[in-house]
Amino acid sequence: MTDNSQVLIFDTTLRDGEQSPGATMSHNEKLEIAGLLDEMGVDIIEAGFPIASEGDFAAVSDIAKNSKNSVICGLSRANFKDIDRCWEAVKHAARPRIHTFIGTSPSHREITKLNQDEMVERIFETVTHARNLCEDVQWSAMDAIRTERDYLCRVVETAIKAGATTINIPDTVGYTLPDESADIIRMLLEKVPGASDVVFATHCHNDLGMATANSLAAVSAGARQIECTINGLGERAGNTALEEVVMALRVRKDLMPYETKIDTTKIMNLSRRVSQVSGFAVQFNKAIVGKNAFLHESGIHQDGVLKNVETFEIMKPADIGITETNIAMGKHSGRAALRSKLKELGYDLADNQLQDVFVRFKALADRKKEVYDEDILALMTDSVVNTGEDHLQVKKLRVVCGSDGQEADLVMTVAGEEKKATCEGDGPVDACFNAVKQIFPHGARLKLYQVQAVTDGTDAQATVMVRLEEDGRIVTGSAADTDTILASVKAYVGALNRLILRRTKTAPDADMKTVSFKE
């Protein structure tokens, strides 16, 4: 049992977050995000689902080997094969954890074809097996909120008797409300023998927009672990957002006098990085980390903030790592200024990385009168696509458009081999995408094309997001440039590179009817 004054932060960005359609991360990106989470002070990092694919296993294993502070956790279904594979991946960590789960609600019992007694037996056997491998075992009752209360008490008691050290009560479908979330935790603590000897966790989805409220309500009733993701990334409408619960615990200590180890000044940097590698843009009005979170439009608000910032702000930008200093950036700025600005924004680059970004920065500065922080962040987004390691790379683009038609001349490399295409289309973007498809034939369908200006003015950079779908695989690519058409092509090619990565992920044989992958 943890100190009752402490709330443990369990981050599942690399597992539940990556399950978001299109949010696939590369091996190196996962290691980078895990390192940032470890550095931030996250108590437990759920690094992935080891049996899902060889790629997932390798990522969890490497994260376990590289972790310095956090517990490294892997997910497994309620069978010995999953649990053994999970242990093989996490055992390298200084502090490993096996997380096993099974759906306990009537609808999930129907899927598994287990009656109540058979499921209790399955839970006891699998949790016991996990505990024989690892001292730290977490058990989850998937769809706990829609499980009969008496039966929920029974399966929780079974898991505790089998050796589980953490009991997770997920709101898998985002169905609960705060009062109910608190009542269930309170009931389990009062009724289940041995409940005081384990940590209760809450894992809330955001289908009704209440994930954070439900998580905090569970904490108020005695839960001491919150499962969450950066930016709320996750299945369907997402999960409880790490930044929201951490800052709520910090701001409202009068109501929730609990401690966490999270270094909140690293929140904004991590939020931006997860947005970049996942391809999921953060909405402007997103709590804590949205672009508008600390902006004031109303004259009354502006006047109040100028007189006393606390009039309309409950936290300071610096609390989450938004710097209040400013370095004017432009075409005369050198490497030292750029390095300083990047550090200010949360990026510490090696010399070779800085050189690559500096070249891009100078090219941008030649096209813009003033380079804003948002431009540099977009530049960093663009620097993670079209790298020398990508299968597909954009080399040259020329577009002719007007009332007489649109035509695109495109030069790309495919696995290092240069290829060219000239295509027409219904518009300049369509012509470019046709050229890409001619060079690299594929069956992916365009599901989303979104353009967003990074800053104001006719010289503003555009950030483009492209989402593709092929045979159930959904991938996202994003890129930024002052040339919207070029950014569109780079985003499209970036999505294709992610699709190629997804094609290489093959899951080993498993009984898919036993338990769903989703929590």
Render pLDDT for 388-420 as a digit per residue (tens, 0 to 9). 568 899 999 999 988 888 999 999 999 989 999
| pLDDT for the residue numbered 83 | 98
Q: Order of strands, edge to edge, in the sheet holding 462-470?
A: 445-453, 462-470, 473-481
| pLDDT for the residue numbered 74 | 98
pTM of the model: 0.77
Dump strand ranges (E) for 426-489.
445-453, 462-470, 473-481
Which residues are CB-contacts of 66 (< 8 A; sequence separation ≥ 6)? 31, 34, 35
DSSP 21: T
Do 194 and 157 form a contact (C-beta atoms < 8 A)?
yes
| pLDDT for the residue numbered 471 | 85
Q: Is 509 exposed, middle or buried (0-12, 13-18, 19+ CB in 10 A)?
A: exposed
Spatial separation of the C-alpha atoms in residues 205 and 64, rounded to whole Å: 26
CA neighbor of 67 nearest in space, from 89, 48, 95: 95
Q: Which residues of the chain have pLDDT under 70?
A: 1-2, 296-299, 301-303, 305-306, 323-328, 368-370, 374, 378, 381-389, 454-459, 504-519
| pLDDT for the residue numbered 517 | 38
How many other C-beta atoms can be found within 10 angstroms of the C-beta atom of residue 53? 17
| pLDDT for the residue numbered 382 | 59
Q: Is 6 exposed, middle or buried (0-12, 13-18, 19+ CB in 10 A)?
A: middle
Strand partners, 71: 44
Model confidence over 160-216: pLDDT tens digits? 999 999 999 999 999 999 999 999 999 999 999 999 999 999 999 999 999 999 999
Which residues are CB-contacts of 22 (< 8 A; sequence separation ≥ 6)? 278, 279, 280, 467, 474, 475, 476, 498
Spatial separation of the C-alpha atoms in residues 228 and 164, rounded to whole Å: 20
| pLDDT for the residue numbered 214 | 98
77 half-sphere exposure, CB direction, 13 A CA radius: 16
Strand pairing report for 8-11 and 392-402: unpaired
